[in-house]
Amino acid sequence: MTIAGQIERLIESLGGASICDDCITDRLNLSVRSQANVVTRELGHREEYDRAKVSCGQCGALKTAIQIKA
Ligand SMILES: [Zn+2]
């Protein structure tokens, strides 16, 4: 599966909880954070996702995180 596919699946599996690029990088063992960033920026333009500066549902830090709309 592509990295983009893995990221989509991870976000979906959280069922509406937000996740930041750093947590995505950790969870999927990506080598660099920019791999996650490229994908989440793209997904953020889609109707089914929300991407905004919020408390990350995983690490609790206030940063740009993405979530699937309920
Ligand atoms: Zn996080």
In the reported structure, the alpha carbon of residue 58 is separated from the centroid of ligand 1 by a whole-number distance in angstroms of 5
Alpha-carbon gap, residue 62 to 45, rounded angstroms: 20
* Alpha-carbon span 60 to 14, nearest angstrom: 15
Domains in the chain with CATH codes: 3-68 (1.10.10)
**One-letter amino acid of 58:** Q
Is the distance from CB of 17 to CB of 58 less than 8 angstroms? yes
User: Is 70 a residue whose pLDDT tops 80?
Assistant: no
Tell me, in angstroms, the distance from the centre of ligand 1 to residue 1's CA: 23
User: Over 90: is that where the pLDDT of 5 sits?
Assistant: yes
Question: Edge-to-edge strand order for the sheet containing 19-20?
Answer: 19-20, 62-68, 49-55
pLDDT given for residue 60 in this prediction: 98
Dump pLDDT digits (tens) for 12-66: 999 999 999 999 999 999 999 999 999 999 999 999 999 999 999 999 999 999 9
